[in-house]
Structure 1
Amino acid sequence: MENTKILLLDDREENLISLKAILSRDDIEIYSTTSANEALRMVWENEIAVALVDVQMPGMDGFEFAETLLSNPKTKEILIVFVTAISKETTYAVRGLKTGAIDYLYKPLDPYITNAKVDSLIRLARSQKEIRDKNKLLENYATIILNSPDIIATVEPETGNIISVNPSVEKILGVSPNHLVGTTILDLLVDPLNSSLREVLVKKSYIGGETNVVEDRFFGRLRQPVWLELRIMYKNRLLFVNLHDVEKRKAHERALIDAQSQAEKARKVKEAFLANMSHEIRTPLNGIIGLGNLLSATQLDTSQRDLINMLRQSSGSLLNILNDILDISKIDEGKFSIIPTSTDLRVLGKGIIDLMRFKADEKNLKLNLITDERLPECVMVDGMRLNQILLNLLGNALKFTQSGKVDCKMELVSETQLGHKIKFSVEDTGIGMSDEHLANIFSEYGQASENISHQYGGTGLGLTISQKLVRLMGSELEVNSKANEGSQFFFTLILPDANEKSVEIKPAIAFQDLPPFTGKTVLVAEDNPINALLLKKYLKTWMLDTTMVLNGKEAVDALRERIFDLIILDTRMPEMDGFQAASFARNQLMVKTPILSLSATVLPEEVQQALESGMNDTLSKPFEPEKLHKKIAILLGQDGRD
């Protein structure tokens, strides 16, 4: 506890020494002086609780000093005791009490009486100070409550009746505080029977002493509902309720829910668009690629074979653009995974260079693969995605380079605890870019300028998808470029050693050289005439007895008549689609025949739908004949596996 401060005022120094000797102890802090003016300074600067004042002093006597203290609000609470050697007559004592003194001490001082009186005065002073502090605190609380922007109310727990409420209730709910006192707080609710506040009152969940926090709708101005957050505390058999306006927060939450709903609708629209676009483009593209395959199996002269190669190149470019669009969508939605496998970087690089060699030869450009001798034999990396990135970068470099060379480099930068730090770069001597054009080079569907787009073609998707793929691998695709001097695109990956060597990729086999399925029957439902022609040609080449129908309804009718060894269904067909046909065959006709889905979309949702409808496997268009042959072999049990 804080020490009590006592002032001793006497014009004789020996009296002060005597008083200090009598009162000296640990819980008292003594200030003493022989000057009344000095004493006034002391009481002004320090919180003096008790003053022992001599009555007879030169200049300002004790009565005048006491009157001065009493007249000042800062010092009027000081307890004054007069110390005197003069008569105890009544008139003299009355004068002292009127000037503010509460008691007298008479000289010569008795130490026991002096200490006893000072003790009682100290207790009185401390009690008065405690009362003053509490009153001040109550005044502060009252000020806070009156000026609080929240509604603050006291409520009778059993009835819910409002005992008191601050003025904020009028601003928030439009009701005068006076009109609410005595009424129940439940009457202010929009739905009192299903309210969180009513549940608290009925269950008496406030009894534990913890603050209950609930939200409820109240009638506000013009009877418009307003959301309020209630903090309910139980003390002294009363409920103290703080009601905070959360209508803006609730409105924001509703806006977020609406935005989320709109985003979900937009996502579904986007998925539907991508599915439709994929189907509408892949269906004819499958026909183009397939017809190219059929033509390549015929007798062709050199000129015709060159045309077929250009047809394949063009259809391949179109398929790459479509796949880029779908890949960007998957990455943006978090549905794209990087799957590291054992990869030989030298083999991967050689395959890329061999694939792009014809483009370089067309423009008389030197195309070089430069690999560091220190590169490890095999590393763990998603080889398919790394291949895609480097193909995009090389394709871009060849597109924008008219003379000179294009280099694809793989350099070992350093060794780390996590693996080999390897830098991949593609450098060219092409048109380059200015600083202004570099700023937008990785933006979606954008190129350096419209003139470049018109002159060189392309969608600008290659660099966008490459950057996204590199980021998924934990790095960043960077570029150095100067106009008319060339460009360098590069990124660095940390790749661990592979435990096993990479699997050698076998060259594709022409469809006419694939083994036959002699004696097997197949039902094919395909509404597109070109794709139907291709399928019929492939299947008959592989010695399959093939029945062709135009839609799912015709497929179901054919299944009623006979049993087939294999069923191939396009997913999107008129009258009855492939999903419906498969489901009907499984659930109504109890058909056990393996079913292969042919779909012109590659979205995971459609693959899942195919499997759920009863299909055994899926194949997306456009497809290579060898992949179709492998799927059929597996479904017919002729794939050579144990």
Structure 2
Amino acid sequence: MMTIWAQKFTELLTRLGTARFSVALFSLILLISLVGTSTTDILLHGNVTVYDLLTPLILTLLTAPWVLYFFLEMISQLEKSRRHLFQLVEQLEELREQDKLLNQSLKDKVEQLNFEIEERKKAEFARQDAIDRLSLEVVERKKTQESLGEQTALLRSFINSSPDMIYFRNEKGIFYGCNKAVETVTGKKEQELIGLSPFEVYPNEVAMRAIETDKVLFENNQPITYEQWLQYPDGRKALFEMRKVPFFSASGRRLGLLGFGRDITERKKSADALEKAAREKTQFIATLSHELRTPLNGIVGLARMLRDSPLNEQQLSYINTIYVSAETLGNLFNDIIDLDKADRRRLAIVPEPQDLPAFTKDVATLAELMASQRGLGWQFERQGELPECVEMDATRTRQILWNLLGNAVKFTEQGKVGLTVSADVQPDGKAMLRFCVTDTGIGIPKHEIDKIFAMYYQVESGGKMHATGTGIGLAVSKNLAEAMGGQLLVTSTPGQGSTFTLLLPLPICKALKAPALPEPNGQKVLQILLVEDIELNVTVAKAVLEKMGHQVTVAMTGQAALDACAMQMFDLVLLDIQLPDMSGFDVACTLREKAEFAELPIVALTANVIKDKEQYLENGMDDAISKPLSVATVSAIIDEFYGEPGAMLNQRRHEEEQEDKLLDTNILGQFVEAVGAAIMLQSADLLASQMPDYLKVLESNLMAGDKKEACEMAHKIKGAAAAVGLKRIQQLANLAQHGDAPAWDENIQEWVDEIVEQWQADLALLRQWLNERSK
């Protein structure tokens, strides 16, 4: 109740305001005071006086305002407090509501947190389980990696121990890995190679080919193999067989290529050695053929002379057979020689003025004899007018015609063979000569026409070879015809015969004059002992020597030569090496043992092409010349020993001349005077240590066909040889360094071979020369 009245009192105070409420309250108090006083006085005194009214009035006036102010201020503060408390209560209510909300949220979050904790516990259990499994997998993987590492290391060891190059490049050509062999060839470590392109590793030419072969590989997705010369860091070149294969991932995506390179330099050397051996074998056969041609020519000449002598019919038949057989054999030897020259690309054509009618007559005469030996008919015809003289290689042309005529006779069992010669004179002063060889033989099947000019090919019919032979005649003839600027054509009908046509464009020249005989050269007339066991060679050599005016004594055995020397003093001995009873070396050594023959000039006769005369000089000879003898060769030999009075060379002078040929003694003398022989010997030792590497690089460049590098190495060898006075080696290297010189390609291998064969001997001679000067 009091709270209600207090609230109403406060509301009234608030509604009236303090001032109005104060007046009203003051009035109310005053009224109450007056009423109370009056009532009290009436009750006590029975009356009310002014004084009685005045006293409460004054007291009220004095105390009421302060009481009212205090009361009202207290009420105001209480109201404010109430209001503030009310606000606080409201705020508290709000806070309570918020607290309820927060409690609810907290409860929700606690529930969520509890749920998350449970989930985390589950996740932790799962994670721990996963960790356990992962740990197990790590252990297993570690074991696997260790196993793979061992396998990888083993595989890497295998790859690095391989002598072959192994590398990997991606599709852009960038290196991604390689083995030790690649590092050795390129001079770069694997880490240096990774990320490089071929142009940053190889010379431009090699890199271009690598890129081109990569392109072919990627276009076809097929392995590719080719040969490539690569250069080691020391300058040595080696031939590699390069093989590339496409490289794919497990999913089938192409990653790049795997490359392999195998050094086949030794295989190349072996192949070249085999080829060289084959050439040397062919050259030997050719040399032998040359030597056999001399007695064959003698047989032909003697047979021709016998045919002109009185003979009965049987003897004439025998002589004709000998004549034809010798000519045929000589033609076969010519084929062998030309086969060797064609193989070495040294086939030389030497055109000379030739009496054409006489030439065709000689060919026709031989062909007639060949045909008559087989019982065949012969027909020779000149169509139209032929030039009197043309410039032609008569030997080569005759060789072609003999081959064609020999085949015509060989493949004709009955009927006839023929030769028709005609010429078309052209405005430019040349004549197109046409030689047509015809026969009525077995003919050539159409499908074999294009094959007959192949080496060693022989026509077959019905599974049988119709005639034996070498199978090289037509191949050589075609080469010879083309070398002379002509053609060799053929037409044939099986069972009816064949026609071979030789076309040669030849310049027309003036008629020939009869050759003049050589005039005597005015040399001293010598007593010459000719030691030769082949009678035909004796006849030829004796005729040459006697034609020059010398007197010749012949000995056909070694013992006969020794007996002749014991009975007579000779001015010159021409000594064959191959004798029936002993060698020419034995004869020379026996003569040199006797003082009276110490100064006797002995010259060896040899059928071989002379490259080095040391073997003959070491066995007591003074010189060596090749057979057959010629006037020029004999004159040079006589001038060597008798060109000046008393010009017989003793052994020391010969040795000095040999030294001058091999060593530059003038330069060496200056070097020795300047620095001393000991320093020069040290330089010689240095050259001895460097020369094998120089030659190895030179030969590898020659095998690689790198002329520029070969010439540069030859120049280096020349400088090294010149520095120590090796004259012969310097001269050979000088020839080898000029790659643009004529016939360089034909001769370079011979020069290099001679350097390889001779440098050690020349260096030994240099050491001997220096040791003599150092004493």
TM-score (norm 1): 0.48
More helix by share: 2
TM-score (norm 2): 0.41
- Report which of the two structures shows the higher radius of gyration computed on alpha carbons: 2
Higher relative contact order (CA 8 A, sep 6+): 1
